[in-house]
């Protein structure tokens, strides 16, 4: 479907509040993560309906490794199950899977599954679904700076020719436009090390709803709010 005017081309979401959602129901935190997977499915569908071309989901941060091992393990199992179950559906929906972040820190089983899902969806062209996994923006920017330094050391670049475009091209997100809209669920007013460079001019919508309660109508409302915003990019 082609997008209406003022529809964001790229939406990024900090999917937060799974643990609190579960706690309020007297359930273990992993039940909240499981319920959150259903919201992911719905967000993908809604983006397709709206004609959004890129959806980046913050699924696991570089800081989330500091959680209890049992929760990390549960998240990795859920991720593996999600990709195993949903890859055929992504193909039916013409959705291509990408990842950003330090995938090499994930268990080997997850890495294999991710590679397979990326390969199987590589021909799809409707929506790009980008999962941020073991992702941290400071690590991403540091790695980009290292790569650029190596190019300078190798004599392929001089420091006076380093531009913001070159930095962008060395980030994990090199192939994607910057997000137009950032949504964070669960009411927290912070970026939590997400896409620090790329979100410079994103419009921000924060909702109090926990991620498992964030459904089609909520994403539609966020996009409507976005479409009413006046983006000035420092101009008039
Ligand atoms: C977001 O929900 C999912 C991940 C960070 C993996 P949380 O697990 O952060 O849930 P809260 O914020 O503790 O409620
Ligand atoms: C951000 O949520 C990371 C993800 C949603 C994957 P956190 O729950 O980890 O962030 P903080 O700790 O509240 O900043
Ligand atoms: Mg949280």
- Could you list the active site residues? 16, 64
10-136+179-228 has which fold?
A: Undecaprenyl pyrophosphate synthetase (3.40.1180)
pTM: 0.98
If DSSP states are collapsed to H, E and C, what string results for 86-144?
HHHHHHHCCEEEEEECCHHHCCHHHHHHHHHHHHHCCCCCCEEEEEEEEECHHHHHHHH
Is a pLDDT exceeding 80 seen at residue 1? Answer: no
Q: Distance, CA 1 to ligand 3 centroid (Å)?
A: 33
Residues at CB less than 6 angstroms from ligand 1: 15-20, 60, 64, 75, 186
Domain borders along the chain are 10-136+179-228
Q: What is the mean pLDDT of residues 214-231?
A: 98
What digits encode the pLDDT tens for the residues 169-208?
Answer: 999 999 999 999 999 999 999 999 999 999 999 999 999 9
Q: What is the mean pLDDT of residues 30-51?
A: 98
Q: Which atom, in ligand 1's list, is nearest to the CA of 20?
A: 14
Q: How far apart are CA 57 and CA 13, in angstroms?
A: 5
Q: Which of 142, 176, 225 is nearest to 57 (CA)?
A: 176
**Amino acid 230: pLDDT:** 95
Q: Answer yes or no: is the C-beta of 15 below 6 A from any ligand 2 atom.
A: yes
Q: Distance, CA 25 to ligand 3 centroid (Å)?
A: 16
Q: Distance, CA 18 to ligand 3 centroid (Å)?
A: 7
């Amino acid at each position: 479907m082609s997008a209406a005017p003022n529809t964001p081309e790229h939406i990024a979401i900090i999917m937060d509040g799974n643990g609190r959602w579960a706690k309020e129901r007297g359930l273990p935190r992993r039940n909240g993560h499981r319920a959150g997977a259903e919201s992911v499915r719905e967000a993908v569908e809604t983006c397709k309906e709206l004609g959004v071309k890129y959806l980046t989901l913050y699924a696991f941060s570089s800081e989330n490794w500091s959680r209890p091992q049992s929760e990390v393990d549960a998240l990795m199992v859920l991720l593996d199950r999600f990709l195993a179950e949903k890859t055929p559906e992504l193909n039916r929906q013409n959705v291509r899977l990408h990842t950003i972040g330090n995938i090499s820190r994930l268990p080997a089983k997850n890495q294999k599954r991710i590679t397979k899902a990326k390969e199987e969806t590589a021909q799809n062209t409707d929506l790009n679904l980008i999962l941020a996994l073991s992702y941290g923006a400071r690590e991403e920017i540091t790695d980009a700076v290292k790569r650029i330094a190596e190019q300078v050391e190798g004599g392929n670049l001089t420091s006076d020719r380093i531009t913001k475009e070159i930095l962008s091209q060395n980030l994990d997100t090199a192939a994607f436009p910057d997000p137009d809209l950032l949504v964070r669920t669960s009411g927290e007013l912070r970026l939590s090390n997400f896409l620090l460079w790329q979100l410079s001019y994103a419009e921000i919508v924060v909702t109090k709803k926990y991620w498992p309660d964030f459904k089609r109508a909520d994403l539609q409302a966020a996009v409507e709010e976005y479409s009413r915003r006046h983006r000035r990019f420092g101009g008039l």
